Structure 1
Amino acid sequence: MRVLITNNTLDNRAGSEVYVRDLALALLRRGHNPVAYSTRLGMVANELREATIPVIDDLRLLTAVPDIIHGQHHLDAMTAMLHFPDTPAVYFCHGWLPWEEMAPHFPTIQRYVAVDDLCRERLQCIHGIPGERIRMIRNFVDLRRFALRGELPATPRRALVFSNYINEDGCLGILRQACADRGIELDAIGLSVGHSEARPEQILGQYDIVFAKARCALEALACGTALIACDAAGLGGMVTPGNYERFRALNFGIRTLRDPITIETITREIDLYDAIGARGVTQRVRSEAAMEPAIDQIIDVYREAVDAHLAAQATKHPEKEHDYRAHFLTASDYLRGVADFTKGRYRAEQERDQAWVEATAQRLRTEQAKSELARIRNSRLWPVVTSLYRLKNAIWNRPLATLKTRQDNRRNGDNQGVHGSHALDDHPRIFEQIYQHNSWQSAESRSGPGSTLKRTEVLRHELPAVLSRLGVRTLVDAPCGDCNWRQHIEIDLDAYIGVDIVPALIEDNRRRYRNPNWKFEVVDLIKDPLPPGDAVLCRDALIHLSLADIGRALSNIRRSGAKYLLATSHEAISVNTDIATGGWRSVNLMLAPFNLSAPLERIVENPQTGKILGVWALGKS
């Protein structure tokens, strides 16, 4: 048979691309004539050509009419079916989420194939495909390539992330920390880390545990490693003889990845490592997921589709043998269905291009400003400018509340110095006066210019995803301020608890925000017990405290029982200077006297100043 195989791309080594490659090679070995088609060619296309398999991006080049169309990804499959309107087709669905996996309706599609139970659900429950036209052919492994490694050690020593989606900006840092806590060395391969491995079968056997999903998971299991089903979408867990059938039925995919990726959940699954159990799972994979039986099934479906097509043709009236009105009508319905998505994508590309233009202009303005600043620094006026800046900084760090506290201390004969060592009872008075007098002089927010919508744009965009990855369900915002930016962001939480030292501010928040999941409490971050929560958000707060008070606040946060701290830090700062509480200066939490470790994740709020919102695991910072 001449088999025309379609796919969205034939470039990078991703799941469906590798599936096409392995299928085409298997068909070639059996004496069939595969042809691969995609509008985007590259790495995998070159591998197919080297194996003498024709690869095209223009169907007009194919003058030999195929016997069957193996359709994957609706745009390319529909293109092929319209070009060869008399050729029967089988459409394969490989995923639940991707838009390109949508199943089209067309008169020549005789059968649909799902690679797992969830794909069958998509075909039947979303795209209206009758169950009797669906066949199940699960993913397979070429056992000749993926050889069995030796026995696993009793204790794992090496682990591998095998994914095109997990990267350093996502959850890779969490996986690395969890493995390090158990004395395991972690490596990573995949497009997202810039290392697409052409021959994974040559390295998988070197690892004891592999973090992967879908096809990558199956290949790792075939080699004899222990597998933790995991990807950027979430955590499925350690695959064992007891849960193997459930994972296999769902292709170790998205429906199994239900847990958040945190240090606690990853270490929990690592602790389930069992060399004997892993070998039992491997034996099942090698007996049930071999490639050759799956190729037999695929060829059987091809023949079934050809027979069904011939039977349908035989019932046609000779005068209507080449009547393609049904083809045109279904093609029209199909185009109507993809039009909105295509138009939306075009708009998104326009916005992307405009953003690039604006970013380029901003970069040029920044370079011009740097040049101008260098010129000013070399001028005679520079000493005057620096003197004015020091004067402004001194005034900023001596608000009225601080001066009043000094007078009270002198009046009461209190010998305790103000700088870095206020009596703890004076803290509310300092911040109450700042709030009442709007001392930070922001027209939009009494919490200061750092709480304006413009200054929190990046934060509001990235924070929900970070909290989701950490599995945070209850967030303690300490201090919450006036919630100016918080009210403009949707975060999937069970509870949000805002705390602040200023009673009037808390009362204002209770009146303004009536969300049943929001709660506000008067709490001194430095000394009062914090409400229980999964994480403490401490943004733009420590910069207003003396070094001693920052230390007290951090200790108080650690005592709260929260798993994570999300706090402002300025990575460009080389030395932490002291101030009186109530003032302002930048703080780098990774420097003395705090010496926190590098954050698990970071939201870069201002790359020019090095301001980040870092994520630290409490107890490990």
Structure 2
Amino acid sequence: MKLILTNHHLDDRGGSELYCSELAPALRRVGHEVAVFTLRPGHISDELARRGVPIFTTGDDARIEAFDPDLLHVHHAPCLYYLGALRLRAKVLFSSLGVIPALEAAPLVWEGVAQGLAVSEEVLDALRSSRFGSEVPLTIFRNWFDDTGLVPEVPGRPGEARRIAVVSNHLDQTLARDLEAIRAAHPGLEWTHFGYPNNSVEMSPELLRGFDRVITIGRTALLAAALQKPCLLYDVHGCDGLMTPERLDALASRNFSGRLTRSRPSRRELEHLLLDEARQVDVAALAERIWREYALSRRVEELLALYTRLLEGKTSLGEQTRSAYGREGQVYTEAWVGRLHAEAREKALQRESEAKASEVTTLRECLQAERTLSARLRTEVEQLASALSVKEAECAHLGSELAMIRSSLAWKVVSQVRGIKDQFIAQPNSRVRLIYDHMRHRLKQRRGLGYASRE
């Protein structure tokens, strides 16, 4: 069988993108020729291409018609509008995976569509309320976990919560704050967020096995349960509590989305769920049901049986249906291309703004560093000036003491000289006195002092 899977965009690690990227290789492994069509290629379609899956996009009309698929498995109405206008004779299956994204809505034009699929009772009710759902047969085709290369774990019991994985592209900020408070209150406990914007990685079994608890929704919740990891269904739309064997069917009715009860546990309730109640979950019994009812290998068998029935039916695309789609697909594509250009321009301006903001931040940091350095140098200068003042005062004090010492020594010398004078020169008309007076007179004349001796 030759078939084309479609998805509006394949540039993010989101729900429908990963649904498509897991299903296409699984169908190829059982011998079918599978290609993928997308209006917005990206790294998910690049990964598929590296695995040998042909990728079609707008402008590949001739290649798509040459591929001549037997069946189109369509996600997202804009893809149906585009492919419905091409010269194809394929059977068409339209699949909806949710009720919140507008892209998951029922198509407005559905000529040639033989079957509609809903991922849950919630989605089935939404499709039934549309004109499409009133005219096209609908059935539930549930989600899965990718069991490729896996075998069931040895039955076990939950251990102590030490490492918690939060897998979400829309991390709830209340959840993040509560987890951080719980982490601070329990040394040795840590939590890690996987998803946009900073940690979008493949959620492989090897990665999840390293954690004791998982907080997530959708297919990752099914994988966690298959690995016997206690899983709390909690996302931006609410919390549905822990997955248990008893609650599995009810949780499936909302595709394990957190929208069944939409509760908002308090911090204390969240702590109790993760640290206490999670240890009471019969993870072995839950894993046994997940493996039996939700493995991708089982889903492929169900899907191939459905494909076979559709191929035996009469409803398909053709010359009569092509006029119903007309140029809608091309009109949408042109509008989408314009939007892509606008988004690219917006992203370029955002990157430029972020670069400028980063430059301003760097300059502010440099300025603050200079201010800090200036303040430190100013303080050092003030400290040095103060020290200099102290040293100057010490020098002045020492100079004063030195002057006093010198004055004291001079006085002693003068006193001693006078004593010698009185002792040896005081006698008038003595020979020594005459010599003394003569020498003193000559010295005064030489210095030009011009005053008479007072002796």
TM-score computed with the length of structure 2 as normaliser: 0.68
- In structure 2, runs of 5+ residues without a counterpart are 379-455
How far, CA to CA, are the matches of 2:349 and 2:7 in structure 1?
A: 31
Which residue in the other structure is 2:285 paired with? Answer: 280
User: 1:72, 1:92 within 8 Å by CA — same for their partners in 2?
Assistant: yes
User: 1:111, 1:301 within 8 Å by CA — same for their partners in 2?
Assistant: no
Code of the residue aligned with 1:71 in structure 2: it is: V
Instruction: Sort the Cα spacing of 1:32 and 1:263 in 2 relative to 1 into closer, same or farther, 3 A.
Output: same
Code of the residue aligned with 1:307 in structure 2: it is: E
Map 1:237-386 onto structure 2 (within 5 A). Answer: 237-256=241-260, 258-260=262-264, 262-270=266-274, 271-309=276-314, 322=320, 324-328=322-326
Map 1:566-581 onto structure 2 (within 5 A). Answer: none
How far, CA to CA, are the matches of 2:191 and 2:133 in structure 1?
A: 42
Cα displacement string for residues 490-542 of structure 1 (whole angstroms, at most 9, x for unaligned residues): xxxxxxxxxxxxxxxxxxxxxxxxxxxxxxxxxxxxxxxxxxxxxxxxxxxxx
Which residue in the other structure is 1:212 paired with? Answer: 216
How far, CA to CA, are the matches of 1:206 and 1:363 in structure 2?
A: 36
| Equivalent residue for 1:95, pick from 94, 98, 102 | 98
User: 2:6, 2:36 within 8 Å by CA — same for their partners in 1?
Assistant: yes
Which residue in the other structure is 1:475 paired with? Answer: none
Which residue in the other structure is 2:238 paired with? Answer: 234
Query: Post-superposition shift, 1:93?
Result: 0.6
Which residue in the other structure is 1:41 paired with? Answer: 41
How far, CA to CA, are the matches of 1:32 and 1:259 in structure 2?
A: 43
Query: Post-superposition shift, 1:366?
Result: 8.5
Query: Post-superposition shift, 1:97?
Result: 0.9
Query: Post-superposition shift, 1:238?
Result: 1.3
Instruction: Sort the Cα spacing of 1:114 and 1:131 in 2 relative to 1 into closer, same or farther, 3 A.
Output: farther
Query: Post-superposition shift, 1:254?
Result: 4.6
How far, CA to CA, are the matches of 2:229 and 2:368 in structure 1?
A: 57
Higher Cα Rg, which structure: 2
- SS of residue paired to 2:252: helix
Instruction: Sort the Cα spacing of 1:335 and 1:96 in 2 relative to 1 into closer, same or farther, 3 A.
Output: farther
Instruction: Sort the Cα spacing of 1:308 and 1:238 in 2 relative to 1 into closer, same or farther, 3 A.
Output: same
Is 1:75 the counterpart of 2:73? The answer is no
Percent of aligned pairs with the same amino acid = 20
User: 1:71, 1:91 within 8 Å by CA — same for their partners in 2?
Assistant: yes
Instruction: Sort the Cα spacing of 1:343 and 1:32 in 2 relative to 1 into closer, same or farther, 3 A.
Output: closer
Which residue in the other structure is 2:56 paired with? Answer: 56
Map 1:203-602 onto structure 2 (within 5 A). Answer: 203-256=207-260, 258-260=262-264, 262-270=266-274, 271-309=276-314, 322=320, 324-328=322-326
Query: Post-superposition shift, 1:162?
Result: 2.0
User: 1:92, 1:113 within 8 Å by CA — same for their partners in 2?
Assistant: yes
How far, CA to CA, are the matches of 1:248 and 1:323 in structure 2?
A: 35
- In structure 1, runs of 5+ residues without a counterpart are 314-320, 384-621
Instruction: Sort the Cα spacing of 1:369 and 1:195 in 2 relative to 1 into closer, same or farther, 3 A.
Output: closer
Cα displacement string for residues 339-365 of structure 1 (whole angstroms, at most 9, x for unaligned residues): 999999998888887777778788888
- SS of residue paired to 1:268: helix
Instruction: Sort the Cα spacing of 1:84 and 1:311 in 2 relative to 1 into closer, same or farther, 3 A.
Output: closer
Instruction: Sort the Cα spacing of 1:360 and 1:139 in 2 relative to 1 into closer, same or farther, 3 A.
Output: closer
Query: Post-superposition shift, 1:294?
Result: 1.2
Which residue in the other structure is 2:29 paired with? Answer: 29
Code of the residue aligned with 2:324 in structure 1: it is: A
User: 1:70, 1:92 within 8 Å by CA — same for their partners in 2?
Assistant: yes
Code of the residue aligned with 1:60 in structure 2: it is: A
How far, CA to CA, are the matches of 1:64 and 1:348 in structure 2?
A: 32
Q: Which one is further off, 106-115 or 135-144?
A: 135-144
Code of the residue aligned with 1:118 in structure 2: it is: E
Query: Post-superposition shift, 1:176?
Result: 3.2
Query: Post-superposition shift, 1:51?
Result: 2.7
How far, CA to CA, are the matches of 2:31 and 2:87 in structure 1?
A: 23
Cα displacement string for residues 449-483 of structure 1 (whole angstroms, at most 9, x for unaligned residues): xxxxxxxxxxxxxxxxxxxxxxxxxxxxxxxxxxx
User: 2:99, 2:123 within 8 Å by CA — same for their partners in 1?
Assistant: yes
| Equivalent residue for 2:119, pick from 92, 115, 122 | 115
User: 1:205, 1:224 within 8 Å by CA — same for their partners in 2?
Assistant: no
How far, CA to CA, are the matches of 2:218 and 2:363 in structure 1?
A: 49
* Number of residue pairs matched by the alignment: 369
Instruction: Sort the Cα spacing of 1:204 and 1:148 in 2 relative to 1 into closer, same or farther, 3 A.
Output: farther
Q: Which one is further off, 339-348 or 102-111?
A: 339-348
Query: Post-superposition shift, 1:152?
Result: 3.0
How far, CA to CA, are the matches of 1:282 and 1:290 in structure 2?
A: 11
Which residue in the other structure is 1:198 paired with? Answer: 202
Instruction: Sort the Cα spacing of 1:60 and 1:182 in 2 relative to 1 into closer, same or farther, 3 A.
Output: farther
User: 1:7, 1:77 within 8 Å by CA — same for their partners in 2?
Assistant: no
Q: Which one is further off, 355-364 or 11-20?
A: 355-364
- SS of residue paired to 1:197: coil
Query: Post-superposition shift, 1:158?
Result: 2.5
How far, CA to CA, are the matches of 2:131 and 2:24 in structure 1?
A: 27
Code of the residue aligned with 1:273 in structure 2: it is: A
Q: Which one is further off, 182-191 or 269-278?
A: 182-191
Query: Post-superposition shift, 1:28?
Result: 1.1
How far, CA to CA, are the matches of 2:44 and 2:72 in structure 1?
A: 19
Q: Which one is further off, 114-123 or 52-61?
A: 52-61
How far, CA to CA, are the matches of 1:197 and 1:361 in structure 2?
A: 29
Larger helix fraction of residues: 2
Code of the residue aligned with 1:294 in structure 2: it is: R
Which residue in the other structure is 2:425 paired with? Answer: none
How far, CA to CA, are the matches of 2:127 and 2:73 in structure 1?
A: 16
Query: Post-superposition shift, 1:253?
Result: 0.8
